[in-house]
Chains A and B, each alone.
Chain A
Amino acid sequence: MFSFVVSRILQALPVMFVVSLISFAMFAYVGDPVSIMLGQDFTEAQRTALVHDLGLDQPFFIQFATFVGNALQGEFGLSYRLSRPVAELIADRAPATLELAVCAAFIALAVGVPLGVYTGIFRHSWLSRFFLTFSLIGVSLPTFLIGILLILTFSVWLGWLPSFGRGDVVQIGWWSTGFLTWSGIKAMILPAITLGLFQLTLIMRLVRSEMMEVLRSDYIKFARARGLSNRSVYFGHALKNTLVPVITIAGLQLGSIIAFAIVTETVFQWPGMGLLFIQSVGAADIPVMAAYLMLIAAVFVTINLVVDLLYYAVDPRLRVGRGGH
């Protein structure tokens, strides 16, 4: 078990290296941070000095090596735009994004799995048809449109929920949470639904098709033939057998929820990492963009590792040798 984790982490290192190389190389061409930082009036001497200060006159691979060397020490440099350490900027913004992502993932799972089970069991009921139609909307409408529609309905027309921002937050150490104030919770609802809706419908459809597959299997027929209760057949025997593919997809989706919260954060002006990234792109703020992409890569690698470990927990056939892990 331990050696498995270690080997997975070792496998992750080249992935991280390649991601950092690609992102760093890409950002060398997205714009000229120097002219943005200097503004309209500057002398050639000022420009040369700034280029030298930023290390931009060095060859590409030296720049990259410096970046990686610093990154390994947790040092991502200063933001060109805000002149603050990147690590600090990201730590400031991370709680907002992570809280949003966790809420969205929770909604997606807590609603998606039961709906999937229901529509898988009662395939022909009118309620199932309704859910499936509804899920088609979730899959096909773009996120920003759903966000705008929700704002229109619940903020503009009904006035129940705020249309932007995080509400009041409480600071616990370096972590700022919106869960402890009423306005924070209210501000969370619309963005979380917007972000989670697509995943919800995806998980629902996945669970449904897996359920339909599993319910046809011989071991379900045999479980019924032994007179086990419906509850045990559906939620014990059937649902557990659908979990392996569901865990895979749900894990990857959690990664994309964190990574692609950008759109939702922009629509709701949510002060998270996605919004930070978009603003940094506008200013060609290379250190922030590179650090953000590295972080997202790390999140994906971690989630994949956790997903693999969950397989082992769910499916005894994957455990090597008797007695398992």
Chain B
Amino acid sequence: MSLLQVKNLRVEFPTRRGTLVALDDVSFDIAPGEVLGVVGESGAGKSMTGAAIIGLLEPPGRIAGGQILLEGKRIDNLPYEQMRRIRGRQIGAIFQDPLTTLNPLYTIGRQLIETMTTHLPIGPGEAREKAIGWLEHVGIPAARERIDSYPHEFSGGMRQRVVIALALCAEPKLIVADEPTTALDVSIQAQVIAMLKTLAREKGTAMMLVTHDMGVIAETADRVAVMYAGRISEIGPVRELVRHARHPYSKGLMDSIPPLDRRVERLQQIDGSMPRLSAIPKGCPYNTRCPRVFDRCYVERPELLDAGTTRAACWLYAEGAPQGASV
């Protein structure tokens, strides 16, 4: 059984000028121990999906439809207090900027101990020993001496390691990692990702890895979901999606990554920009930029369709598509 199931999730933001649909009909599963990468442009709804799963959508955003199930039980409609017990204990979260995610006034040890004693049946003394263990796990040198240091006494990369220890310390089954390396130096990114991947594998923790860095996805994820304008446009195994993307948008995305093995005169780019939430066109949301658009794309909205090894929300993979569709 899947660890996490997201079914037809819809998130709305009521505003003065009408309701904006930030996520529309988003569905995917994550199996135990699996790493699902989520990619897309800024504003595509990647982080929003993560926030909805941990139950911390920023008001006035709200889940307006669909379900989120953790081990078969619905968690999207739980009261705050019950959801609080799940956060940290069952679903951990890692945020983007390690410089701002740690409370500057408390030692990292205190933050770790507080998190563990909140969720696990252990006392402060035992929690302290475990905290030292976690700091060693995430690669903090001299963990025993540094546990009583404050966040500002660590570098950015070290702080993100502390954040990862905090997210993992109550041993959740799922980690929602929202751009965990974006704010780090490039030289540190690979180390932190490798460490995160190893730890997740050791503990059997599943991960939803939100990023716009395809390199990170290719290296870490088992499967990838590509998001566009609040919807999933393609989802499938990482190898397939990187090499043979089916949806024209994912293909554009992959073509815009500079290849290392050959010279190219010009990088491919996708013309135009993603529509604002208030101006998503009728039919396929990509129809304003798609090089292979045809009649049906302006009328009907595509569901996720079988496109060989992946599933793509594109009419090219429906019956009766124009000739030469299956690339």
Give A residues with C-beta under 8 Å from B.
217-219, 221-230, 232, 236-237, 240-241, 314-317, 322
Residue of A217, A228, A241 near B114 (CB, 8 A) is: A228
Query: Which residues does chain B contribute within 8 Å of A222, judged by CB atoms?
Result: 93, 95, 101-102, 163, 166
How far apart are A225's CB and chain B's nearest CB, in angstroms?
4
Task: State in angstroms the CA–CA spacing of A240 and B85 once bound together.
Answer: 24
Query: Which residues does chain A contribute within 8 Å of B107, judged by CB atoms?
Result: 316
Contacting pair B102 A315 (CB below 8 A) = no
Contacting pair A221 B56 (CB below 8 A) = yes
Contacting pair B150 A317 (CB below 8 A) = yes
Task: State in angstroms the CA–CA spacing of A93 and B167 once bound together.
Answer: 59
Task: State in angstroms the CA–CA spacing of A228 and B111 once bound together.
Answer: 10
Task: State in angstroms the CA–CA spacing of A22 and B163 once bound together.
Answer: 56
Closest residue on chain B to residue A214 by CB atoms: B103
Q: Answer yes or no: B294 CB below 8 A from chain A CBs.
A: no
What 0/1 readout, one digit per residue, does chain B (91-105) give for beta carbons within 8 Å of chain A? 011010100111111
Contacting pair B115 A225 (CB below 8 A) = no
Q: Answer yes or no: B86 CB below 8 A from chain A CBs.
A: yes
What 0/1 readout, one digit per residue, does chain B (72-87) give for beta carbons within 8 Å of chain A? 0000000000001111
Residue of A217, A227, A237, A317 near B87 (CB, 8 A) is: A227
Q: Answer yes or no: B232 CB below 8 A from chain A CBs.
A: no
Contacting pair A225 B54 (CB below 8 A) = yes
Residue of B86, B103, B105, B115 near A314 (CB, 8 A) is: B105
Please, how many residues of chain B have a CB less than 8 angstroms from a CB on the other chain? 32
Contacting pair A223 B103 (CB below 8 A) = yes
Task: State in angstroms the CA–CA spacing of A156 and B54 once bound together.
Answer: 59
Contacting pair B103 A225 (CB below 8 A) = no
Task: State in angstroms the CA–CA spacing of A240 and B102 once bound together.
Answer: 14
Residue of A218, A227, A240 near B97 (CB, 8 A) is: A218
Contacting pair B105 A226 (CB below 8 A) = no
Query: Which residues does chain B contribute within 8 Å of A224, judged by CB atoms?
Result: 56, 84, 87
How far apart are A122's CB and chain B's nearest CB, in angstroms?
13
Query: Which residues does chain A contribute within 8 Å of B56, judged by CB atoms?
Result: 221, 224-225
15 contacts between A and B (CB under 8 A): A218-B97, A221-B95, A221-B101, A222-B93, A225-B88, A226-B87, A226-B88, A227-B84, A227-B87, A227-B88, A232-B114, A316-B104, A316-B150, A316-B152, A322-B153
Query: Which residues does chain B contribute within 8 Å of A221, judged by CB atoms?
Result: 56, 95, 101
Task: State in angstroms the CA–CA spacing of A317 and B105 once bound together.
Answer: 8
Given contacts A219-B104, A221-B95, contact A226 B150 (CB under 8 A): no
Contacting pair B100 A219 (CB below 8 A) = yes
Contacting pair A219 B87 (CB below 8 A) = no
Query: Which residues does chain A contribute within 8 Å of B92, judged by CB atoms?
Result: 225-226
Query: Which residues does chain B contribute within 8 Å of A219, judged by CB atoms?
Result: 100-104
How far apart are A58's CB and chain B's nearest CB, in angstroms?
56
Q: Answer yes or no: B89 CB below 8 A from chain A CBs.
A: yes
Contacting pair A218 B101 (CB below 8 A) = yes
Query: Which residues does chain B contribute within 8 Å of A229, judged by CB atoms?
Result: 84, 118
How far apart are A139's CB and chain B's nearest CB, in angstroms?
29
How far apart are B84's CB and chain A's nearest CB, in angstroms?
5
What 0/1 readout, one digit per residue, does chain B (163-187) give for beta carbons within 8 Å of chain A? 1001100100000000000000000
Query: Which residues does chain A contribute within 8 Å of B100, judged by CB atoms?
Result: 217-219
Contacting pair B106 A237 (CB below 8 A) = yes
Query: Which residues does chain B contribute within 8 Å of A218, judged by CB atoms?
Result: 95, 97, 100-101
How far apart are B1's CB and chain A's nearest CB, in angstroms?
24
How far apart are B246's CB and chain A's nearest CB, in angstroms?
34
Contacting pair B103 A241 (CB below 8 A) = yes
Task: State in angstroms the CA–CA spacing of A237 and B97 once bound together.
Answer: 18
Residue of B84, B85, B88, B104 near A241 (CB, 8 A) is: B104
Q: Answer yes or no: B301 CB below 8 A from chain A CBs.
A: no
How far apart are A236's CB and chain B's nearest CB, in angstroms?
8
Residue of B85, B95, B152, B153 near A225 (CB, 8 A) is: B95
How far apart are A229's CB and chain B's nearest CB, in angstroms?
7
Given contacts A218-B97, A316-B150, contact A225 B87 (CB under 8 A): yes
Task: State in angstroms the CA–CA spacing of A230 and B167 once bound together.
Answer: 18
Query: Which residues does chain B contribute within 8 Å of A217, judged by CB atoms?
Result: 100
Q: Answer yes or no: B119 CB below 8 A from chain A CBs.
A: yes
Contacting pair B103 A227 (CB below 8 A) = no
Closest residue on chain A to residue B103 by CB atoms: A219
Given contacts A226-B167, A228-B115, A229-B118, contact A315 B95 (CB under 8 A): no
Task: State in angstroms the CA–CA spacing of A314 and B152 once bound together.
Answer: 14
Task: State in angstroms the CA–CA spacing of A241 and B102 once bound together.
Answer: 12
Query: Which residues does chain B contribute within 8 Å of A237, judged by CB atoms?
Result: 103, 106
Query: Which residues does chain A contribute within 8 Å of B166, judged by CB atoms?
Result: 222, 226
Task: State in angstroms the CA–CA spacing of A222 and B95 once bound together.
Answer: 7
Task: State in angstroms the CA–CA spacing of A230 and B88 once bound together.
Answer: 14
Closest residue on chain B to residue A223 by CB atoms: B103
Query: Which residues does chain B contribute within 8 Å of A226, judged by CB atoms?
Result: 87-88, 92-93, 115, 118, 166-167, 170
Interface residues of B in 105-161 (CB under 8 A from A): 105-107, 114-115, 118-119, 149-150, 152-153
Query: Which residues does chain A contribute within 8 Å of B150, judged by CB atoms?
Result: 316-317
Residue of B106, B119, B149 near A227 (CB, 8 A) is: B119
Query: Which residues does chain A contribute within 8 Å of B106, judged by CB atoms?
Result: 237, 240
Closest residue on chain A to residue B83 by CB atoms: A227
How far apart are B179's CB and chain A's nearest CB, in angstroms?
12
Contacting pair A240 B118 (CB below 8 A) = no
Task: State in angstroms the CA–CA spacing of A315 and B105 once bound together.
Answer: 6
